[in-house]
Amino acid sequence: MRALARLRALVEKGGFNPDQPRIPAGSPEGGQWGGGEGSGQNRRPGIGDNGGPALDPVKDPPQDQQAKTKAAKALAKAIARQALRRTGPIGAVVTAIEVGHWLYTEWPSIRSYQDEPKSLGELQEQVGKGRRGYDDHHIVEQGAGSREGFSSAAIDGTDNVVSIPRYKHHEITGWYAKKNINYSQLSPRDYLRDKSWTEHVEIGHEALRLFKVLK
């Protein structure tokens, strides 16, 4: 993408126009571009000019981080569905990612999305370690503390926090906000208002199992 952007910038700076006429062959300047906008005749070369477009550095094209993350999530899901790692089209993309910019940014989250479900104890063991591609997740949502009056000690307690793949953390957070036929067309978050701690925990575990995080 950077190479294409650089080429495009150089072409634009040079005033390239594929429809611009050339000077006929046989004349001293045969084959060169004829007059017209962007032609060499309209340029005023300065000291050190080589007759071509300016060669000052071209900035990388702006990147939409949200679009990058969305594409990475789609790739993570495709890998999980097809169980391909090194072969076929998906394998080629994975190889490209591993040697590209995403190796540092998105690849850890794509890789963690492939984790097999783990026991509650295994998920709790990794809390607070700051692993790339993983987030610390509250089984009973942090927002429930203020809504339902649960203490911060309970919300942040070791029994209520697990380390899970980042993209699955995003999916679970979205799931809590969407209307659900299993909860009288309420979102799980709205359904849980005024419910007990035990019921919050049960639905939190259900979400972890639904997204194949918890065994």
> What one-character-per-residue DSSP string does the chain give?
-HHHHHHHHHHHHTT--TTS-BPPTTSTTTTSB-SSTTSGGG----TT--SS------PPPP--HHHHHHHHHHHHHHHHHHT-SSSHHHHHHHHHHHTSGGGTTTHHHHHHTTPPPB-HHHHHHTTTS--TTEEEEESS-THHHHHH---HHHHTSTTTEEEEEHHHHHHHHHHHHS-BGGGTTB-HHHHTTT--HHHHHHHHHHHHHHTT-B-
Nearest Cα to Cα of residue 33 among 19, 13, 49, 54: 19
Neighbours of 52 (CB within 10 A): 12
The predicted model scores a pTM of 0.58
Nearest Cα to Cα of residue 77 among 112, 39, 35, 44: 112
In this predicted structure, which of 48-52, 67-71, 85-89, 210-214 has the lowest mean pLDDT? 48-52
Nearest Cα to Cα of residue 158 among 134, 124, 135: 124
Confidence of residue 12 (pLDDT cuts 50, 70, 90): low
Q: How far is CA 206 from CA 16, 27, 48, 191, in A?
A: 61, 81, 70, 14
* Mean local confidence (pLDDT), 181-196: 95
The one-letter amino acid code at 191 reads Y
DSSP bridge partners of 164: 135
* Mean local confidence (pLDDT), 11-37: 53
Q: Which two structure tokens, joined as six digits, stand for 69?
A: 């993350």
In this predicted structure, which of 26-40, 131-145, 181-195 has the lowest mean pLDDT? 26-40
Q: Could you give the angle at the alpha carbon of 79 between the alpha carbons of 175 and 129, nearest 5°?
A: 65
The one-letter amino acid code at 140 reads V
Q: What is the pLDDT of residues 51-62, one digit of tens each?
A: 554 444 444 545
* Mean local confidence (pLDDT), 6-26: 55
